[in-house]
Structure 1
Amino acid sequence: MTPVCQVTILLFTLCLRRIWCSNGASRPNIVLMLADDLGYGDIGCYGNTTLRTPNIDKLAQEGAKMTQHLTTASVCTPSRAALLTGRYGIRSGMVPIGIVRVNLFAASTCGLPPSEVTLAELAKQVGYNTAAIGKWHLGLHEERYGDFKTHPLNQGFDRFYGFPGTNMKDFGDEGDRVILDLRPTWYAQLITLWLCVVIPLACMYKAKFASLPFVIAVSLVWSIPFVTVYWTLENFKTLNSMLYRDREIVEQPIRLPGLTHRLVEESVEFMEESAKEEKPFLLYLAWSHTHTFLATAREFEGKSKHGRYGDAVEELDWGVGRILEALDRLNIKNNTLVYFTSDNGGHLEEKGLNGEVDGGCNGILLGGKTHGGVDGGIRVPGIVRWPGHIPKNTITDEPTSLMDFYNMVGMATGATPLKNVTLDGENILPLLNGMTNVSPHEFLFHYCGDEIHAVRCRPKTGFKTYKLVYKMPDYLPGTNQCIFVCGCHSARVLEKPLLFDVTSDPGERSPLPSSYPGYSDIIEAINKAVATHKSSIVPVESQFTARKLIWRPHWQDCCNFPKCSCSDPKYA
C-alpha cells in the first residue's frame, strides 16, 4: 500500500471517529435511579418535613416533579419488569397467578423473558454503553444452570454489579425471618403437621399393627420435606444474599453496611469510563434502600429522626447526591437525562423484632406495598431532569406511569421504535415541557397479580382524574393494613365498584355518589376500556408458577464451596 493510500485511510478513519463521537455527544446520557419501597411521603419535595433529602429535593427543583406518578404493581418484580420494557407485566408473564408475587430464590427459573426488549437493548442499538448496578430481581437462568438467559448481561447491559434478588430482613444478623411475619406460628404449624403422621405411626407400632422398621422408614420419608423446607428457610441468607460482578459471585453474603457507597463507586466508575471513551451511556442504578434489612454505613446510623428507616432514606439521598455531583464534575450534567422513582409504595406493615417501624410513609394516600390497586402501593415519587428540554421547577399533577420512561429513552436516544410490540407507556415529554397540560394516558390499569383491581380515567377535557375500584384489600378490622402482605385473590370484590375523584380526594376516602354529574358515562367508558385492554392481551406463560418459583438446589451458586462465604476483594 502506498503512503498516499495509508494517509487517506487514516484521515478517513479519523473523520469517521470524529463524526461518531460528535453524534454520541449529541445524544443524552441516561441515568435511571430506582429506589426500593420508598414511600410517597418519605422525601422533602413530596411533603416530608422530618427527613433530610436535599439532593432529591434539588433534583426536583432542577426538573419536573410528577405528583401522580404510578407503578404497574404494588410489589417489586412486576413493576421493575414494566419499567424496563414499557409494558404491563401481564404481557410478558411477569405477574403472579398465585400467592407468591415476587421472585424469591436466585436459583429458580422465574425471570424476565429474553424475548422482551429492555430499554438497555434499545440504547445499545445506537451505541450506548450500558450498566445495571444494584438490585436486579428479574432472574438469572432460564432453561439450565449457567445459561444466564435472564441475567442483566443478556438483557442489554454491558456490565452488572449487584444482587440477583432482593434485600430481605433475613439478610440481617438479628434472627428475623420474613416467614414469621407472614405466619407467626410457622414453626408450630410445621411441627404439628409433622406430628400428625408420626404420632399415629407410633401408636400403630405400640398396638403391633406395624413393625418398627416400617415405622422408622415411613417417618424418615415423611420428614424429608419438612427438613428441606426448614433448612432452606433457615439458610435463606446464604442461598440468596449474593453480590455479582457480571456473571461471577464476588461476595456472599452481602455486607449490607456500606453497600450504598459501593453502588455509588461502581456507578461513578462506569460514568467516568464512558465519558473518557466519549460514548453516551445508560446507567440503571437500582438502590437497595429502603427495603429491609435496613443497614447503613456507620456515619448514617442514628442520625435521622425516624430510626434506621430514616437513616436509610438519608443515606439514599446521599447516594443520589454523589451521582449528581459526578455528572457536574464530568461536565455532562446538561447532556444527561436523570430519572428518579420507586418501584412501589412504602411497606406499612414492616416492623422490626422490637416493633420499630421499618417501612415507609405514603402520606395521605390509602394503603401501601402489596395492597393492590390502592394508591399507597402504586403512587410513587417521580422526578425527571433534562436541562434544555424540561424547565426547572415544573410540577404536573397529571397521571403518568413508570412505563413512560421507556418511550422517553427511545425518543432521547433516537433508537428505532419496536415493531409488532405493544407498548403501554406514552410520550410524556410534551407534558413535562409545558407543550400540553393533559396526560396522554386516558386510562391506566392497576393490576394486582393477574387481576385488574382498579382503573384510572383522565378524560381528554376538564382537569379531573377518576378512579374506579373493583376490589379492595382485605384489611384487618378497623385498620388500613394486613397482617404483613395483602393478597390479590383474597381481596374483597365490591358489590358495586367505587368511583373516586382522585384529583380532590387522593386518599380515596369519599366515593362519588351515583348522582354525580356524568357518573354513569365515566363508569361505562372505563368498563369499555377494560374490555378493549383485555382483548389486546396475548396469553403467555406465567413466570410465577410453582414450577418456576421453587428453589433448585442443583442451580445454587456458591462462591467458595462448601463455605459459601467470600468478600468482594475490590472493597476488602
Structure 2
Amino acid sequence: MNIRWMVLSLCIGLYGVVFSSGLPNIVIFLADDLGIGDVGCFGNTTLPTPNIDRIASEGARLTHHLTSSSVCTPSRTSLLTGRYPIRSGLVTSHLLPVILFVASAAGLPNNETTFAELAKTQGYSTAVIGKWHLGMSCSTYQDFCHHPLNHGFDYFYGLPLTNLKDFGNSGESVVVSQMPATNMTLVMSFVLGLLSSAVLHRKGFISTKFTVLFLGLSTCLPLALYTAYKNITLLNSVMLKDFNVIEQPIRLDSLTRRFTQEGLEFIERQKRNQQPFLLFLSWTHVHTYLMTGSGFSGRSQHGRYGDAVMELDWGVGQILTALDKHGFTNNTMVYFTSDNGGHIEETEEDGSRVGGYNGIYKGGKTHGAVDGGIRVPTVVRYPGRIKPGRVVDEPTSLMDFLPTVANLMKAPVPSDRVLDGKDMMPLLTGEERLSRHEFLFHYCGKTIHAIRYRPRQGSDVFKLVLWTPGYIPGQMRCEFVCFCGHATRLSTPQLYNMVSDPGELTPLNVTQHAEYQDIVRLMLKALEEHQASVTPVPDQYAIMNLMWRPWLQPCCNFPYCSCQDPKYASLEP
C-alpha cells in the first residue's frame, strides 16, 4: 500500500513538472524613481549594479522603454493593466499627482484586469512584495476593494501606500516640499474665513446661525488639513501582510532585506508546490526617505542614494541566485524596470541632491512628457527565447508587459476594453525589428503633453511636444515636483527626432520642411483618434476620493497605532 502511494505521489509530482514546464515563471522587479543613468549597463561607471547588469548580459537591454506617466501611481496602473491610466480614472486634473493617504477611497478599480488576474486563470501562484500605492479600501475599512488580494495576487507583504520623506528622522515633510507655503496658506485660509464670516454677518448677508456654521467650516477645514499633513507618518507609515497590519511605523533600514527574504521564501514554496509562479517585487528604493541596512550604509561614493541603489541591486541578485539554486532560471522570464525616471529635485536636509540621474535625457520625475521622467532602465531575461546581450532600441512601454506575459502564459487578454500595450516578445527575440507602437501618447494628468511617432520605414522616432513643464525661469527643474497644472501650452508644437537628438535639445525646423509638416499633421490626427477612444470613467482622483477618511484608517494595537513585525523583530539595522 505504501509503495502504491509512493508511486502515485511520484506520478503526480512528475505531472506537475510537465504541466508547469509549458508555462514560464514570471519575476518582475520594479524600482521606484530609479534613473536610467543610475545603472551600469546603461552607462554608469561610478555605481556598481552587477546583478541588474547580469540580467542585461544574459538577456536584452531596452534603451527606449517608456512609462505612461512620469509619476508612480498612474505608471503602476498601466504596468498592471496594459492600458493608459486615464482609462482607469487614475490621473489628476489638479495638483495632487498620486494617492497621498492609505485611508483614502482612491485606487485601482475592480473592473480592471491585471496581469496577476490573467496568471490566476492559468493556474499560477502569485505574490506582490513591496510597494503597492494603488489604494486599499473604498467605503469601509474591511472592504479592501483596491487591495492586491482583490486584484489577482495570492500573497501581499508590503506597503499599501509608499515610502515618504516624513518616515525618516530628518523632520522633513513631503507636503511642505511640494508646497512650501503650506503653513502660510492654511493660516491665511483660517484668517480669511474669520474675516469673511464677520463681514457677511455685519452686512446682514447671513444670519447668526449661518455665521456660526460658516465660521465652523472655516476653522475646521484648515485645522483638519494641518492635522493630517503634520501626522503623515502616523497615518501612512503602515505595513501589511495580506489584510493584516503588521508594522506601524515602518522600519525603513531593514525593509529591502525583508522584501528580499519574503521573495526567497515565496520561491522556496513554489519549489515544493510544483506550480508556475508570478512574483512581483516592487522595491521602495530609491524613493525617499532613503535608509539602508548597515551593510550598505556608506559604501557608495554617491551618498545615501548610491547606497540604496547598491542595496536594491543586492536584493535583485539574491532572487536571481534563488532561481539558479532551485532550477527555475531556464524557465523564468525576469523583467526589471522603474516606475518613472529619477527625481532630480530631491534633496537632503542640507540641500545636497539625493535624487536619481537620468543621463542624457531632459527632465525627470513629474516633468510630464520629457524623456528624463519617462524613459526608464529596463532589462529582460528569458533563456532560450532571448539571446544574451541583445539590445532593443525600438520604442516599447510598461503597458507592453501585460500582453507580453499574457501570450507567454497562454492567457486570453480581455476583449471588452481597449488594450494599449503590445506584445514585445517578437522584438526581444529578434523575430521583428520594428516596434508595434506606431504612436505613443504621453500624459501629464489628464492632458497629453507629447506624441511619439515611429514611422513604419527607416529608423527615425519623432516626438511632438505640445506642453512644457512649469520650470523655474532659466532652469530645467521645478521647486520639488512639476505640477501638470503649472505646465505651459506651446503656441507652436516642437518636433524632435529622438534618434539623432535624444536630449530634446534642438527642435526640427517644421516651417521650412514639407516632410516635417506632413509628420506633424499625421501625429495630430492620431492624437484626435486616440482621444476619441478614451471614454469617461469614475474619477479616482476626485478630491473627495483622495481626502483622508478616518473610518478607513488602519491602526494596529489601537489606540496607539504602534507595532512591529514579529517575524523580523530581531533583525538588526
Fold shared by both chains (TM-score > 0.5): yes
The TM-score with structure 2 as length reference comes to 0.94
Q: Is 1:82 the counterpart of 2:78 in the alignment?
A: yes
SS at match of 1:403: helix
How far apart are residue 364 of structure 1 and its match?
1.0
One-letter amino acid of the counterpart of residue 543, structure 1: Q
Q: Is contact 2:139–2:552 with CA below 8 Å preserved after alignment?
A: no
Mapped partners of 1:370, 1:42: distance in 2: 18
8 Å contact from structure 1 (residues 25, 278) kept in 2: no
Number of residue pairs matched by the alignment: 564
Partner of 1:210: none
More deviation in 431-440 or 59-68? 431-440
**2:337 aligned counterpart, secondary structure:** strand
The reply on whether 1:446 has 2:438 as its aligned counterpart is no
- Residue 557 (1) aligns with residue 560 (2): no
| Matches of 1:125 and 1:336, distance apart in 2 | 18
1:172 paired residue among 151, 159, 168: 168
Corresponding residue SS for 2:256: helix
Secondary structure of the residue aligned to 2:62 is: strand
Q: How does 1:241-320 map to 2 (within 5 A)?
A: 241-320=237-316
Aligned to 2:543: 546
- The share of aligned pairs that are identical, in percent, is 51
CA contact (8 A) 1:25 1:279 kept: no
Cα distance in structure 1, aligned partners of 2:133 and 2:141: 17
Partner of residue 388, structure 1: 384
1:359 match: 355
Structure 1 326/14 Cα, relative in aligned 2: closer, same or farther at 3 Å?
Answer: closer
Note the 1:143-154 alignment, pairs <5 A.
143-154=139-150
For 1:132, the equivalent position in structure 2 comes to: 128
> Per-residue deviation at 1:35?
0.3
**Which digits, 9 at most, give the CA deviation of each residue in 1:226-278, with x for residues without a partner?**
32221111110010010000000000010000100000000110011011111
**Does 1:44 find its partner at 2:31?**
no
Report how far residue 520 of structure 1 moved.
1.5
The structure 1 residue matched to 2:153, chosen from 148, 151, 157, is 157
Structure 2's unaligned 5+ residue stretches are 202-208
- 1:48–1:200: structure 2 CA closer, same or farther, 3 Å change rule? same
Contact 2:462 2:496 in 1 (8 A): yes
Q: Distance in 2 between matches of 1:426 and 1:451?
A: 22
- Cα drift, residue 79 of structure 1: 0.5
Measured after TM superposition, the shift of residue 217 of structure 1 is 9.6
Partner Cα distance (1:145, 1:477) in 2 = 45
Structure 1: how far apart are the matches of 2:504 and 2:85?
25
Report if aligned partners of 2:13, 2:274 keep a CA contact under 8 Å in 1.
no
From 446, 464, 468, give the equivalent of 2:460. 464
Partner of 1:237: 233
Q: Tell whether 2:567 aligns with 1:570.
A: yes
Partner of 2:473: 477
Match of 1:416 in 2: 412
Letter in 1 for 2:484: C
Q: What residue number does 1:104 align with?
A: 100
Query: 1:382 Cα shift?
Result: 1.1
- The 1-side partners of 2:199 and 2:273 are apart by 76
Q: Tell me the secondary structure at the aligned position of residue 494 of structure 2.
A: strand
In structure 2, do the counterparts of structure 1 residues 193 and 143 end up closer, same or farther at CA, with 3 Å as the change threshold? closer
Gaps of 5+ in 1: 206-212
* Among candidates 518, 521, 543, match of residue 524 of structure 1: 521
Q: Alignment partner of 1:22: what SS?
A: helix
Counterpart selection for 2:66 from 67, 70, 92: 70
Moved more, 521-530 or 116-125: 521-530
* SS of equivalent residue, structure 2 residue 186: helix
Alpha-carbon distance in 2 for matches of 1:569, 1:122: 33
Show CA shifts across 1:387-441 (max 9, x none). 0000000011110001111112111111123222221111111111111211111
Partner secondary structure for residue 269 of structure 2: helix
Contact 2:133–2:162 at 8 Å: present in 1 too? yes
Tell me the SS of whatever aligns to 2:18: helix
In 1, Cα distance between equivalents of 2:440 and 2:414:
21
TM-score, normalization: structure 1?
0.94
TM-superposed CA distance for 1:23, in Å, is 1.3
Check conservation: 1:457, 1:526, Cα contact below 8 A: yes
Q: Which residue of 174, 179, 182 maps to 1:183?
A: 179
Deviates more, 1:153-162 or 1:485-494: 485-494
Displacement after TM superposition at 1:25 (Å): 2.6
The answer (yes or no) to whether the contact 2:189–2:218 under 8 Å persists in 1 is no
Task: Classify the secondary structure of the residue corresponding to 1:528.
Answer: helix
Equivalent-residue separation in structure 2 for 1:346 and 1:50 (angstroms):
16
